[in-house]
Structure 1
Amino acid sequence: MTTLNEFSRCVAQYDPHALPVPAAQAIVRQWATPVTAVERVPLRDALDRVLATDIVSPIDVPSHDNSAMDGYAFSSAALAAAAGTLELRIAGRALAGHPFAGHVDATQCVRVMTGASMPHECDTVVPQERVEQGGDTLSIRFAADAVEPGANRRRAGEDLARGQAALRAGRIMRASDLGLLASLGIGEINVRRRLRVAFFSTGDELRSLGDALDPGCVYDSNRYTLFAMLRRLNIDTLDLGVVRDEPAALEAALRGAAASADVVLTSGGVSVGEADLTRQLLQTFGDVAFWSLAMRPGRPLAFGRIWSGERPGLGLPALFFGLPGNPVAVMVTFYQIVREALLLMSGADVPPPPLLHAVSRQVIRKRVGRTEFQRGVAQQDARGQWHVTPTGSQSSGVLSSMSEANCFIVLGHDEGEIAEGDCVSVMLFNGLI
């Protein structure tokens, strides 16, 4: 069995002490195996689920030629014979759901409303605002050059043809997708089962909400941000609370989490301090790919596998992410490393988050040799140019900086200090967080 550690050493830019972010992302991506179980769910329960199989349209959409607007349907052959002005007799009318059943000759037209079936002999619609009513009100007149042959007609199958793929497997179902499938008459679909993620915080100093705050202690915020970030991904979560810095308690929590979840997330306990027991325990029943990233915030980040048994390969396996303890570092590492892996394991197609180019409004200090994700506020000026300003202190313990920000300022591994007026890459929170 190839271990993650052995695999990681073969990755370009591998550095056990400060792994570059792109290399870490490549390693994680390689081991993020999608869940295989499939569930069949009603359409109303499919929002944000991951489609397991392609959906092929069983019908043409629309199912019939129809009018794209209110007006008059006629045969375009009449246009060629017209000399400037075309006058047509009104043979009847067609409404959506109530087609005109009669015959229409070349001198006639049919009053149609948007969505109404096109009469068989008609292929063109002139908008109602471009016609004049005849003196007897039973005819219309309009300039022959006011409309092109075939104008304002929606053809059967124009949106989707029978047998065409409507949605591909791996798609995260959106509201528009539910409407699309409903238009095909599809009421149930196959989706991947939800990924199961267990998470907990480590540290004797942490207290849960509702507990007394003893001297030297802090309330645990990381579990709440992790819960919210996981909920946004429509993942089944198992909150294991706060685990004390005791080897037996931590080992039991990790083994239990591996037995009940696909992925285990912890916060705290993965640096090199004497009290950081997670690192020590994982050397016993885990397989760790890396411990440290060339990244700020988020340098101490562990990724690997753990088993519910006493040593690697025994019991049930789970992917493991040991996140830093500082609140901002937890969120940054989740969005830059963990989020993509969870989506891939859910079976979803994962396009990279789009980056915008923005002008920095101030000097940004940055050290070459690590990727930095600073918090910022991005705004567009009157000309549409994006500008960005960091949100003050970039300390990984200042969680308010994430609440104030609307983007990450992404500073690459090889970039140095940014001057005022320089262009930087920006990853907007909208659509990510």
Structure 2
Amino acid sequence: MAEPVAVADHLARVLAGVEPLSTHKLKLLDALGHPVAEDVVAPIALPRFDNSAMDGYAVQFRDVSDARHDRPIHLPVVAEFGAGPTTSHVLEAGTAVKIMTGAPIPIGCDAVVPYEWTDRGSDEVLISQPPTRGQNIRRAGDDVEEGEVVVSAGTVLGPRQIGLLAAVGRAEVLTRPRPRVVVISTGSELRDPGEALEPGTIFDANSFLLAAAVRAAGGIAYRVGAVSDDSRSFAEALEDELTRADLVITSGGISEGDFDVVKEALRGDLWFGKLAMQPGKPQGFGLFGAQRTPVITLPGNPVSSYVSFRVFVVPAIRKLLGRTPFEQPLRSATLSHGLTSSPGRQQYVRAFCESSVVTPVGGSGSHLLGDLATSNALIVVPAETTSLAPGDPVSVLMLDEEF
């Protein structure tokens, strides 16, 4: 009997079979939620030019450094600048320019006196409080320098990144599409929620769980639903879905039973085997069909299926998107309660993590979906570790944390 495969080795197998999707350009607003496929370099500085941070008066510091409430400085106002196109102006000593927020700073100006420190005069201004040198001036390049990378490849564009790209003049950006992920459950006992349950049938949780997880990971989910325990029916369903799939994930039908239809239908095309992990021992992966579409086969128990999704499918989706890192970094935490683990298997323990203290949740059964729903983390116990005591440091995979 073959030795169980290490989790890291199977993940490497999956990632080796997945390539990032082809790039295309999108208009800025259409790119919201998509990962950038290039390092975006600022063609201009932000701010583009020295400008005023306040409504006030542009002055030379030496002219107003001695201003006091009881000894105000009087300066003639020789011009007025508002935000918008303007010609350059040289500020002569002993004069002031009324200036609005965002307006270009006149040449020779080294401070802006805010309205509140003046009488807001139009022909002449009375200044009763001195600024510091450089006060209220936004210097060119203070925010972003010309040639600086403002958005790195792999970054998913949110509203803030869209605003930054617009500010540096990008009208469109090179992105990758969201991967189309087909989700198929197998089992003659499965029924959609809302349907009547006959004796011996259950509701299909897996396809909803996995389809939701695909969306949360950045993919477009196509939930096929449950396919009966018949290898021909499964093969036909898979063939029908390949035209719209960048990735296929299945749940169930890959163990050692008489009705493991996924393994039966794809035995010659995919690798199937056992991993040194718990839950999630049976796994499969390969490229299928004329387009060599990646197919990841997951176990049928809901917890096993979801844990396997987090460990293997999330990195695959991120590689399709061109996002790095592919694998979610683990967080360090302190264990609140002791636990034991089967030797030789990397265990993923449902848990709740708060303030760097992690508490195991519920039992170890791979059917305990209620415990999974109340968890926000998985404690990752290495294969060589068989027991952990309260207070021990552990590695934790956070389930609701973006990375």
| 1:133 Cα offset (Å) | 6.5
**Cα deviation, residue 118, structure 1:** 1.7
The 8 Å contact of residues 208 and 223 in structure 2, kept in 1 or not, is answered as no
Match of residue 383, structure 2, among 396, 413, 432: 413
Counterparts in 2 of 1:96 and 1:252: CA distance versus 1, 3 Å: same
Alignment of 1:91-240 (within 5 A): 91=77, 94-97=81-84, 103-110=90-97, 112-125=99-112, 131=117, 138-142=125-129, 147=132, 149-240=133-224
Task: Name the SS of the counterpart of 1:303 in structure 2.
Answer: strand
Deviations 1:101-154 (A, max 9, x none): 75423334445554332222213346677x5779998232446xx73x434432
1:157/1:351 CA distance change after superposition, 3 Å = farther
Aligned to 2:46: 61
1:303 is matched with 285
Please give the per-residue CA displacement for 1:80-115, whole angstroms capped at 9, x wherever unaligned: xx6797957363654544879754233344455543
Out of 346, 368, 371, the position equivalent to 1:401 is 371
- How far does the alpha carbon of each residue in 1:264-321 deviate from its partner, in whole angstroms, 9 at most, with x for none? 110001112222122232223x131x522211221112122222xxxxxxx3311111
TM-score where L is the length of structure 1: 0.81
**SS, match of residue 358 in structure 1:** strand
TM-score (norm 2): 0.86
Identify which range, 355-364 or 174-183, moves more after superposition: 355-364
Superposition map of 1:344-359 within 5 A: 344-350=319-325, 352-359=327-334
Paired residue secondary structure (1:45): helix
How many equivalent residue pairs?
Answer: 398
Equivalent residue for 2:7, pick from 2, 7, 21: 21
Deviation at 1:57, TM superposition (A): 3.0
Q: Identify the residue that residue 430 of structure 1 maps to in structure 2.
A: 400
| Structure 1 segments unaligned to the other structure (5+ residues) | 1-14, 308-314, 381-385
For 2:19, the equivalent position in structure 1 comes to 33
Map of 1:370 onto structure 2: 345
Question: Does structure 2 retain, via aligned residues, the 8 Å contact 1:222–1:330?
Answer: yes
1:33–1:134 CA distance, 2 compared to 1 (3 A): closer
Quickly say closer, same or farther: Cα 1:16–1:104, change in 2 above 3 A.
farther
Deviation at 1:410, TM superposition (A): 2.2
Alpha-carbon shift at residue 217 of structure 1 (Å): 1.1
Q: 1:416 to 1:72 in 2, by over 3 A?
A: farther
CA distance in 1, matches of 2:119, 2:364: 71
Q: Which whole-Å CA distance do the structure 2 matches of 1:363 and 1:221 have between them?
A: 31
1:235-274 to structure 2, matched below 5 A, reads 235-274=219-258
What do you get for the CA RMSD once the two structures are aligned? 3.1
- Name the counterpart of 2:316: 341
Provide the identity percentage: 34
Q: Distance in 1 between matches of 2:113 and 2:345?
A: 63
Conserved? CA contact 2:270–2:284, under 8 Å = no
Per-residue Cα deviation, 1:387-418 (whole angstroms, up to 9, x for no partner): 12122223221112222122222222333312
1:429 deviates by: 2.6
Cα distance in 2 for residues equivalent to 1:431 and 1:198: 24
Mapped contact 2:230–2:259 kept (Cα < 8 A)? no
- Give the partner amino acid of 1:353: Q
Cα contact 1:292–1:299 (8 A) shared by 2: yes
Q: Structure 2 CA distance, aligned partners of 1:134 and 1:155?
A: 25
Q: 1:178 offset after TM fit, Å?
A: 1.0
Establish whether residue 50 from structure 1 lines up as the match of residue 50 from structure 2: no
Native 8 Å contact 2:118 2:125 kept in 1: no
Gap change, CA 1:262 and 1:134, over 3 Å in 2: closer
Q: CA shift at 1:30, angstroms?
A: 2.1
1:54 positional shift: 3.9
Distance 1:368 1:111 in 2: 77
| Deviations 1:321-345 (CA, angstroms, capped at 9, x unpaired) | 1111111222111111111111102
Give the deviation of 1:349 after TM superposition. Answer: 2.9
Unaligned runs of 5+ in 2: none
Distance change (3 Å), C-alpha of 1:84 and 1:427: farther
Shift of the 305–298 alpha-carbon distance from structure 1 to 2, 3 Å rule, reads same
Q: Distance in 2 between matches of 1:414 and 1:84?
A: 75
| Letter of the 2:30 counterpart | D
- Whole-angstrom distance in 2 between the partners of 1:111 and 1:351: 54
Structure 1 SS opposite 2:267: helix
Aligned residue type for 1:222? N
Question: Hey, what does 1:10 align to over in structure 2?
Answer: none
